[in-house]
């Protein structure tokens, strides 16, 4: 048990080394540019290609049967657009939120917690979110590409990958709030001591 924890601490420390205030600020700006401009444009492009059909990555969880139902409702053009966007836009977007969350959480936890605190590992949560996002993209794209043929195991895992992605992404935003509060508490305590 000690060896995996040591690896996690080393990875967390490596992320902290690049988590400068400047990078945290730049990644925050980039994240909000994506939220305001890029995501709505991508949603419009998906709606144009797929019509009113839903996509699997916006659900929290789905079964293989639900994934095949979505694949059917997308039609050929919608499935092609979906696959193409998983390997263009949806490669960049997870990297954007990963850099934003990992650097911002890392920068804040360095200021909010002591170096030995396990809370400093919070900067690893976005890595897990992005990893499961990439696994989700690969699994759903393979299922879409092979449809109407089924893709056993991969289609079953796709919903699990999506649920894990959302769990770690939500946990990352919760960690960001925890880190902000920790910095505020530490500053308040420091001012009271003076």
Residue 7 inside a domain? The answer is no
Residue 63 inside a domain? The answer is yes
CB hemisphere CA count around 123 (13 angstroms): 29
Residue 62 inside a domain? The answer is yes
Residue 188 inside a domain? The answer is no
Residue 177 inside a domain? The answer is yes
Question: What confidence tens digit (pLDDT) does each residue in 16-34 have?
Answer: 999 999 999 999 999 999 9
pLDDT above 70: residue 89: yes
Confidence of residue 128 (pLDDT cuts 50, 70, 90): very high
Higher pLDDT, 68 or 51: 68
Residue 8 inside a domain? The answer is no
Of 67, 66, 54, which Cα lies nearest the Cα of 141? Answer: 67
Report how many domains make up the chain. 1
Task: Enumerate the H helices of the chain as residue ranges.
Answer: 2-18, 21-33, 39-50, 64-86, 89-112, 125-146, 154-193
The fraction of the chain above a pLDDT of 90, given in percent, is: 86
Residue 116 inside a domain? The answer is yes
* Mean pLDDT, rounded, for 38-65: 88
| Confidence at residue 1, expressed as pLDDT on a 0 to 100 scale | 55
- Predicted TM-score (pTM) of the model is 0.93
Residue 60 inside a domain? The answer is yes
Range of the domain at 104: 13-183
Question: What confidence tens digit (pLDDT) does each residue in 142-168 have?
Answer: 999 999 999 999 999 999 999 999 999
Structure tokens at 14: 């490596």
Of 114, 129, 131, 126, which Cα lies nearest the Cα of 182? Answer: 114
């Amino acid at each position: 048990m000690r060896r995996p924890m040591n690896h996690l601490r080393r990875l967390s420390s490596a992320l902290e080394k690049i988590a400068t205030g400047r990078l945290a600020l730049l990644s925050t700006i980039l994240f909000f540019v994506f939220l305001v401009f890029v995501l709505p444009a991508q949603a419009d492009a998906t709606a144009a290609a797929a019509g009113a059909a839903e996509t699997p990555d916006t659900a929290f969880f789905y079964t293989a049967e639900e994934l095949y139902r979505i694949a059917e409702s997308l039609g050929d053009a919608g499935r092609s657009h979906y696959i193409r966007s998983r390997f263009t836009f949806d490669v960049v977007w997870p990297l954007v939120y990963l850099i934003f969350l990992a650097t911002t959480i890392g920068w804040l936890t360095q200021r909010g917690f002591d170096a030995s605190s396990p809370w400093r590992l919070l900067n690893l949560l976005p890595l897990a979110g992005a990893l499961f996002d990439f696994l989700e993209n690969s699994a759903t794209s393979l299922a879409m590409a092979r449809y109407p043929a089924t893709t056993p195991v991969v289609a079953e895992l796709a919903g699990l990958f999506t649920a894990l992605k959302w769990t770690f992404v939500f946990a990352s935003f919760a960690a960001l709030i925890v880190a902000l509060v920790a910095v505020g508490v530490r500053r308040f305590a420091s001012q009271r001591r003076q």
